[in-house]
Structures are given as C-alpha cells and as structure tokens.
Amino acid sequence: MEDRPFSDISYHRFLNEERIMGSKCKKCGVLFLPPRSICVECYGNEMEWVEMSGKGKLVAFTCIAVGPPFMTKEGYDRRHPYCNGVVEFEKGVRVVARIEGIDSSKPENIKIGTPLTATFLHRTEADNLNTYLVFRPLGDP
C-alpha cells in the first residue's frame, strides 16, 4: 500500500491526513503504534501498514488541574481540569491522548471501558502542521 518508512515521521504525516497507522510484523503479527521498522518480539524487519479505525476504549486516565502553558492558554486550569487517557484500540495497541466530552471535574464519574472515538486536532506550531489525537465518548456530538 504505502512505501513510507515505518517511523515516527510517517506516523505524524499520516495523522496530518487523519489516518492512524501502525505497523504489523509480517513474521509474528505484533502490532506497533507508532510504527516501528524492527519487531521487538522477533527482530523481524518485514512490516506492513495497518490502519486503526479510530475506535477504542478507555483503559486508564488522569485528570490534570495544573497543566503546561499551552493547555492553560486553551482555558484549562484548576477549575477546568482536563484529562489524559490511555486508549486501547480494538486491535489491542494503546495510545496516550487527551480525552474530551467527559466531565474532567468529576473523575469519579468517568468509567474505565468507556467506548471512545478519535478526532484529529490540527495545530500549526512554528510553521509546522502538527496533528494530535483527541478522543471523545462514542456517540458524543
């Protein structure tokens, strides 16, 4: 399909195109996200691209009241905390990303296992287009 190298650069380029791409070892079938060119399980170096559907579930999260300056700039603070979560895709790989559409001020109401869907947040930083994954509960408008 794609002749891009299995690297972080390719991963981010795909994100800019709103695709979540991992690599899969042709020998043992282990999946890597972000993609790797060499398998850490069997040291195989034959990989193929696998696209994630963007659907996953919440497996862990932290709500952060005092974040880095760019988050403060977006309006998050002690009174408006935000959540970072670990999201597991249906194929078993995990990513860490911001979770929106949940009440971060009441973490006790956030449930592990909540089905989530990925959205793409595009930001231009120092003339580069960077895309971040943000997850929202499935069915959230």
Q: By the criterion CB under 5 A, which residues form the site for Zn ion?
A: 25, 27-28, 30, 39, 41-42, 44
Instruction: Pick between residue 49 and residue 120 the one whose CB is nearest to Zn ion.
Output: 49
Question: Could you give phi then psi for residue 37, rounded to 5 degrees?
Answer: -95, -20
Instruction: Pick between residue 20 and residue 25 the one whose CB is nearest to Zn ion.
Output: 25
Q: How far is it, in rounded angstroms, from Cα 77 to Cα 31?
A: 36
Smallest gap from Cβ 36 to Zn ion, in A, equals 10
Smallest gap from Cβ 5 to Zn ion, in A, equals 17
CA distances from 54 to 13, 59, 72, 134 (A): 16, 15, 27, 10
Instruction: Pick between residue 43 and residue 132 the one whose CB is nearest to Zn ion.
Output: 43
Smallest gap from Cβ 37 to Zn ion, in A, equals 12
By C-alpha distance, which of 88, 108, 112, 86 is closest to 99? 86
